[in-house]
Amino acid sequence: MKRFFMKRKNLIVSTVLILCLILSTFALAQQESEENPHKVKNVILMIPDGMTIAHTSLARWYQDGESLAMDEIACGLIRTHSANNPITDSAPAATAYATGFKTQNRYLSIYPEMVSMPGVGQVDEKDFYKPIVTILEAAKKAGKSTGLVFTCQFPHATPAAFASHSDNRNDYENIAEQMVYNQVDVVFGGGYKYIDKNQRKDKEDLARYLKENGFFVTPSWYEAKNFYGQKIWGLFAQDAMHYDFDRNGSGEPSLAEMTQKAIQLLSKNKNGFFLMVEGSEIDWASHANDPVGVISDVLAFDRAVKVALEFAKSRNDTAVIIASDHSNGGMSIGNYSTKYDTAMLNDFLKYIKKAKRTGAGIEELLGNNRTDENIKKIVSEYYGVDNLTQDEINAIKNAKTGELNYVLGPIISKRSNLGWTTNGHTGEDVVLYAYHPNNYIPRGLIDNTEVCDYMAEILGIDLGSFNENAYISNIDLEEKGYNVSIDTSNPSNVQLVISKENKTYIIPQNKNVVLAGSTQYRLKYVSVYIPTAKRFFVSSEVENLIK
């Protein structure tokens, strides 16, 4: 009998404790909700690189005036300038979205040393080139899953800005290594050669590193779409992927398919996720003034938007933000020769609607067979153009490898009454689109840095606290009395060497490790070497290791 009462007493105590725990958890959640009633678990940021209002207008007409999925959530405009130029390139533009700070052209998620635009705060000299913690890195530290989806090669400017730090956006090998060591949970896109030891100049086996750290690594979409774990790098092309119109037969997935799979995998984390999706090649088509490429990848991007919005609307914990990083090409519906009071819709769409491939796709079809007859045959079959001039045929014949779209794009644009002002970026505002389950969205004209501020707010992430003491430089360490040197004897593997008493600590660039003899320590952040400034930045907790 006594044992029975003891068991009953223990059961009552246990039940009370469980109830107290449930009530305290509920109270904590309620308090958190009251402090940040707009907080969400998941944020999907979607970047249609280089997309303008002219692009979306033409895309709607291409599908007979039918609205785009993104149209219903248009809510404002974004200023896009960098720290030092009215016209930004993709690196500082993506940096603004990733970090909430402006930097200068070519830089990826590091502070600028050059600030010349009105309203942009000057940076203290000691912080020049210092890495800025990104919202993706902070989300991962906060226990969320992270993902990057794109159609370019993964070390390209936009995805790179979220998971690497550099003063040279074209330094793909070093950027790729940082992104791998940052261990983004889900990466879908192109660029397999940048993790393949046989194709890297430094022979680093980054694919093996990922596998050893629990990632499934594959170049096969079939394998990726049948994967149901949580950590995967699916790189479906050696370099960049095809334009959407040119994918047929390539085995590559669409942007929508990759987005859907990424969401499926990332949403397994009860703490939520941060996902960036880029329509990478809208920008490239714009550089080439290729309207067929623009239509191809604006519509492919919009199908990915539909996937993201359907997921967000099916629950109450997900926000979707769509923001182009800059305008490109100066595209207009109508050019100098257009008589707009008599021009009919078919005058703009006749050839574009007949197009089955982009300019890049036509180049693949032509191969080395650029005879007059084959050029006329292919262009007639895939573009419906039967009246090429001899000058146009010669231009196609003599186009450099990889640049035929720069010839075919203007040929189609001229016949379609479309104007272009440049093969480069332009500096006007871009459209902001946003969805939030409680309709808490930014409106009006905002700065591109405010997109990051908004995402951090609704995720409940204090980016400032992450950045406050994240990195320390070789100069800082020297000032603190440490014996520090930068070993550049192997340019492919620059190292920071810290000596103290009888111990030597070696910190390789791009990795998040410290080597002390046979012992290896892991750091919070990847190490970054800026060769032009001879500055080496390391995760600040290294000081505790070497004390």
**Binding site per annotation, positions for Zn(2+):** 49, 283, 287, 325-326, 425
Q: Which residues are identified as catalytic?
A: 90
Please, what is the angle between helix 390-397 and helix 405-415, to 10°? 150
Query: DSSP string of 159-220?
Result: HHHHH--BS-TT-HHHHHHHHHHTT-SEEEEE-GGGT-TTTSTT---HHHHHHHTT-EEES-
Residues 6+ apart with CB under 8 A from 445: 76, 77, 78, 79, 429
In eight-state DSSP terms, residue 120 is P
Alpha helices in 214-354 (DSSP H): 221-225, 255-266, 281-287, 291-313, 345-354
Residue 331, amino acid: M
Distance CA 405, CA 285 (A): 8
Q: Which residue has the tokens 């070993």?
A: 487
The CA distances from residue 321 to 43, 97, 116, 278, 433, in Å, are 8, 11, 29, 12, 6
Distance CA 136, CA 182 (A): 10
Distance CA 344, CA 148 (A): 41
Coil, strand or helix at 403 = coil
Please, what is the angle between helix 291-313 and helix 345-354, to 10°? 90
> What count of other Cβ atoms lies within 10 Å of the Cβ of residue 397?
15
Distance CA 510, CA 16 (A): 51
In eight-state DSSP terms, residue 14 is H
Residue-wise burial string across 240-278, b where 16 or more C-beta atoms lie within 10 A, e elsewhere: bbbbbbbbeeeebbbbbbbbbbbbebbbebeebbbbbbb
